[in-house]
């Protein structure tokens, strides 16, 4: 096991690779490279003629990808959001010729484990939460200026946190006294504002999740990336998406369902299924991590993998 592999266990690895049905001479896109666990598994199945492109907005991921690219000419990586995959594919003249795309949505283990990134309340660090620390507002900057209703809406909607308004009020009252700049400050604040406890979950879990999703515009990024994926895939190409949050999985499930259904015509129209122009075929059911994998990697517990194939 390499140093990079030990830092991050790729979730649902064998199921994802099997679902992509990798062709030795194919062209593939890992739209969320992370630390490259899935990419290395794809490369292991490619011939000298196969190609793999990685994308990521995290500068640390780019460094890992550049090191891999220096060793393997079949691989290249670009710094960018996965919602910009169309541009990266166009630059390589791969449009409509990509045999498989992988999206592993959400925050990676190395990001969670690095206190300086501010994603986790498990270690105290600056309240940042940006996937790309070089762009956009940090969580601390947003919390310092957003009004209470906006904060409450984010926490309730994106975190599915029932005490969102109470937590938002506590944030605003606290920031009036002193800035909220560290993960411990926010976690302690949420803990005090939460009237009940879940014995399996820290009270700040949903709030941190919600703020992270908002700061990184994750749901909108996912929606855009799914649309672009259909445009760049070859007919017969596979799309594999791993999500860790019910809101993300809902977007993927709905997108797959709608594209497999085709044109939205009234049910009484005399047309066959093929005439509805479906663009995707859903492959199998949603896949979750086995108990064995969860024991090795507890963060795999919430992972859901969905796979679809482009029809036209």
Please state the rounded mean pLDDT for residues 101-130. 82
Q: Phi/psi class of residue 31: alpha, beta or left (left: φ > 0; alpha: ψ in -120 to 50)?
A: alpha
Q: Is the pLDDT higher at 273 or at 38?
A: 38
Give pLDDT, residue 115: 78
The highest-confidence range among 128-132, 198-202, 304-308, by mean pLDDT, is 304-308
**Measured torsion, CA atoms of residues 210, 248, 36, 217, in degrees rounded to the nearest 10:** -50
DSSP letters for 187-201: HHHHHHH-SS-BTTB
Give pLDDT, residue 1: 32
How many Cα atoms sit within 13 Å of 240 on the Cβ side?
A: 28
Cα–Cα dist 292/308, whole Å: 25
**Of all residues in the chain, what percent carry a pLDDT higher than 70?**
92
The answer to whether the beta carbons of residues 221 and 245 sit under 8 Å apart is no
Annotated binding residues, written as ranges, equal: 36-38, 56, 82, 104, 111
Q: Is the pLDDT of residue 2 over 70?
A: no
Q: What separation in angstroms does the CA of 147 have from each of 96, 167, 301?
A: 44, 13, 34
Q: Is the pLDDT of residue 271 over 70?
A: no
Give pLDDT, residue 3: 37
Cα–Cα dist 216/157, whole Å: 15
Annotated binding residues for S-adenosyl-L-methionine, written as ranges, equal: 36-38, 56, 82, 104, 111
Please state the rounded mean pLDDT for residues 245-258. 95
pLDDT band at 221 (very low <50, low <70, confident <90, very high): very high
Cα–Cα dist 50/27, whole Å: 6
Tokens of 271: 């047309």
Give pLDDT, residue 133: 87
* Sign of the alpha-carbon torsion through 242, 246, 251, 256: positive
Q: pTM above the 0.85 mark?
A: yes
Give pLDDT, residue 118: 75
pLDDT band at 106 (very low <50, low <70, confident <90, very high): confident
* Three-class DSSP category at 95: coil
DSSP 30: E
Question: From the CB of residue 173, how many other CB atoms can be counted at a distance below 10 Å?
Answer: 12
Q: Is the pLDDT higher at 248 or at 108?
A: 248
Cα–Cα dist 311/238, whole Å: 10
């Amino acid at each position: 096991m390499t140093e990079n592999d030990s830092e991050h266990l790729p979730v649902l690895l064998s199921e994802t690779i099997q679902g992509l049905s990798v062709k030795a001479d194919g062209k593939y896109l890992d739209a969320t490279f992370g630390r490259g666990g899935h990419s290395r598994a794809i490369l292991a199945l490619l011939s000298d003629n196969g190609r793999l492109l990685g994308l990521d907005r995290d500068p640390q991921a780019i460094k890992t990808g550049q090191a891999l690219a220096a060793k393997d000419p079949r691989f290249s990586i670009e710094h960018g959001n996965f919602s910009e995959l169309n541009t990266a594919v166009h630059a390589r003249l791969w449009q409509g010729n990509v045999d498989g795309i992988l999206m592993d949505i959400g925050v990676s283990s190395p990001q969670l484990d690095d206190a300086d990134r501010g994603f986790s309340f498990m270690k105290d660090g600056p309240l940042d939460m940006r996937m790309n620390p070089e762009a956009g507002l940090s969580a601390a900057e947003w919390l310092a200026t957003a009004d209470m209703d906006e904060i409450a809406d984010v926490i309730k909607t994106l975190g599915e946190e029932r005490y969102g308004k109470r937590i938002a009020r506590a944030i605003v009252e606290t920031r009036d006294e002193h800035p909220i700049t560290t993960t411990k400050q926010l976690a302690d604040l949420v803990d005090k504002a939460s009237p009940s406890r879940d014995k399996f979950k820290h009270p700040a879990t949903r709030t941190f999740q919600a703020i992270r999703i908002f700061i990184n515009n994750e749901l909108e990024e996912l929606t855009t990336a799914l649309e672009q994926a259909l445009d760049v895939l070859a007919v017969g190409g596979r799309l594999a998406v791993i999500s860790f949050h019910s809101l993300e999985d809902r977007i993927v499930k709905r997108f797959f369902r709608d594209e497999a259904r085709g044109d939205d015509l009234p049910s009484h129209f005399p047309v066959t299924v093929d005439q509805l122009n479906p663009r995707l075929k859903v492959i199998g059911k949603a896949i979750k991590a086995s108990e064995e994998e969860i024991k090795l990697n507890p963060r795999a517990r919430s992972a859901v993998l969905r796979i679809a194939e482009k029809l036209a």
